Chains A and B, each alone.
Chain A
Amino acid sequence: MSGQQSIRDTFFEECEELLEALVEGLAEMEDPDHSKETVNAVFRAVHSIKGGAGAFGLDELVHFAHTFETVLDKVRSDTLEADPDLLKLFQRSGDQLANLVEAARDDKDPNRDAQAVVLGELQKYLGAEDAEEEIVFDAMGLDFGAELVLPDLLDIEDTSDSSESADSSDGQSSLKIAIRFAPKRSLFENGHEPLLLFDAIAELGTLTVSADTSAIPAFAAFDPAEPGIIWKLTLETSESETVLHEVFEFVDSLCDIDIKVQQQEKQSAAPSETIEAEQPKAQAAPDVPEASAAPEAPEMSPERPARGPVKQPAPSSSAASAPANTAAAADRDHRGPKPTLRVDLDRVDRLINTVGELIINQAMIVQRIEELDLPSGANLTNELEAYKLLARDIQEGVMAIRAQPVKPLFQRMSRIVREASDATGKNARMVTVGDATEVDKTVIERLADPLTHMVRNAVDHGLESPEKRRAMGKDEIGTIRMSAAHRSGSVFIEIGDDGAGLNRPRILETAIKKGLIAPDAELSETEIDNLLFLPGFSTAAEVSALSGRGVGMDVVKNAVQALGGRVSITSTPGRGTTFTIILPLTLAVMDGFVISVAQETMVIPIASILETITPHARDLHRIGMYGEVLRVRGRYVPIVDVAQNLGLQRNVDTNGNGVLLLVETEMQELNALRVDAIHDQRQVVIKSLESNYGRIPGVSAATILGDGKIALILDPEELVKLNSDDVAPMPIIANQEDLHHAFHS
């Protein structure tokens, strides 16, 4: 049972990859110069989904994929031209296919209405002859007894496919095709069975099969695991050659195959004797009985019993390949499996944790050795440095495993854009930039929902109706732009629209009406924009079916904050709105300054610090009772006392001014954080405080230092905020010098 479940899981995982390839291919097809291979790739993706779906009895999915595939096949065989309308339909079909896959995976009901519409449109492209063909799957039960059943199913699936594609071919004069089929060892190891393939071919026409046993070595050197027979097949068929390629589609990397269209049937006189004649009898004599058993051998004895060097069956030497054959070869190259490895996420995470411990341990060792006070220039120091670099390399390598391009996420969003524009009657296109940007897998997963919401919002509320856009002299088709980029240790993801921009008066009005702000509040534009993030805020005049789902932007903000990120808005009336999500690159480590604040050791992320300043007394000025500012190149920057904001008592004995760290908040406001001293710069492993305790304002997480002690990681952004609202300023027991300074500045 669980075995079947895992096969099912694998199928859906593969579906995801196939859907990705499908979307990619469809996008390429929009380029008028796309290669034939692109169409083939799209076709293959749909076809493979259909094949797998058939094996799991997902009839709806099979039916849809089949219709989709049949139309694609017409494009592939040049009987149908892929004009923009059709491409758009393909896009929507791809969306529906993805929906169906998701529905099947989650055992939910798909949106049948939308599906029926797309299906209907697809069927319009089909002639009467291929509109209602029966899709027959012979062995579609869910009874997975033996491990070898799945490949068999695929083979059989092929059969049905070939028979159905028959209709799409012209089916006029019959062809005579010679096939040279030399299975590789891997074909048998993957549980394929030539007999089933031959059966499938036999259904296409009249088939003659003969075995060329010349490649079978002498008995002493014989390796039962090594296939020795080269099969020669002659097929007389009315089918097109592509159908034949489909039969071998699932094994084409597992065998040497050479398909030659010999001649049209009319001229064909030579029956199979010619091929029969090629079979050399002389050499094969003692081996033949074994040889016939050879193909089955690997299934029965997985370990390789032979030791002598066994020659692979001679590769096809025939240079004269039909044009279609080179296409098939190109096919193979393109399809050559990306060398990837599917690994259980748990294992990766365990590895990441261990590497985190390694980094901590390395810091500990360094600290211990420093305590030994070795003479300077000791070799040990160099080795330690190398150790540090190695640990860092390992750590970065491990983190890279988790990093994934945002492409699939963006692709999903373009689907959302299409769905949303369909639902709202708006025209929208999606532009993505930087979709190769890699982000931690967890971040990608947890961003899906907030992004979906934001993209829907952008189409629903951001873009104007086509009429309005036309009236304003804009392109009728609105653009939703998604970009991702790495910038200074963070990931920036932007979702922008070229719509009307935020309607600030209305936002203000709504906020006042909902009692979120006082009626007489004076707010800056940025502050008004940020009202969107308040819980219980929704600007939609009437809650639309699309974006009004009880989720507000506050949910988006919370989701992003939970990932250690931030969201900000910029908006220009008439020009559009852009949301920017800033996320940490990884969730596991960061570079930080080790600082001390009121005798406590803490860490502050380097990424957030613009500059460190050891202030001169003449640059410090007091404002009011507790306020203090720093003059930086003619600009006055408020000073935020970290100790005070954390409710720690600052030791007034230490030199009063400490070190100032210049930080910029998301609102582009400068602030200077006052700390006692900076001790070191190092990579620290981020440990969650929330998992065992909870959130503490001004603190984003904790880390473990070289001495095994815990240091808190500060959140500069929040520290600054604490300054402005939450914390009532505690009077510092100012020392005489401070007071003196205040009076004379």
Chain B
Amino acid sequence: MEQNNSILEINNINKTYKNSRALSEVSFFVEKGEMVGLIGSSGSGKSTLLRLISGLIKSDKSGSYIKVFQTFIQKNGTINSGIRKIRAKIGFVFQKFNLVERMSVIKNVLVGALSRMPFWRSWLQIFTRSEKILAMEALQRVNIDKYALQRSGTLSGGQQQRAAIARALVQKAEIILADEPIASLDPEASRKVMKILSKINREDNTTVIISLHQVEYALDYCKRIIALKEGKIIFDGAPEELTVEMLHSIYGSEFNETGTCDEGYECINISRKKKTAIKNIKKDLTEVKAYI
């Protein structure tokens, strides 16, 4: 892979929380305009990885580095002191939306412009006309412009998540990191959010890295899948290369086709869910093959 064209470079990253290893020897490159789905069961290190990329947490000191736009985010467990300038170009979409609920939707979205404003204007909360227009355009793109003046807490989950995406648009982000953006949403809202993210990816050539608990969504919307298990990358490739055996090893015993397991009722339930997931995957794969 041509190293110099990569928008994101992750090299040999380790991350340890107290005694448990969250990530070990993770390395990969992402090119501009890719839409990458990070999959893995909970606790596999997906969130940790995204937080490391945004410099919200530090990696272990192990000769490792993360580069975004050819600039170090962190190196050897030390975060770049100019992180704010780089972060301004990285949009982050969280599972819990992370909006200020008591603030209006438009102001939440205008927060994306703060890094370009002189401090006195940002401290006094004075936004220019062009900044407000930019925010309204972003809200139109995610189709919630009519709620601009409402408190964001009054919106539904899906709408709040779309507001969070609008915030990333106002940032003029070149990379959007989305950490389980649909985990708290119902299926319909999930589809909408995924569609918006993939539309932004297509139209603006924005790189999108999105962690997902549900494999179906990753297969539907991402052209590249990276699978993590216990902090290690065990798969990196196109969705059609992902086999059922691979999914077995990604989700471990949780992913059980026979639908029975020793640990009791709850476990059976989980495997039923996974069984439908397998069916979906098989369906998707045949569709993909038919398409090709």
Co-assembled chains A and B: no
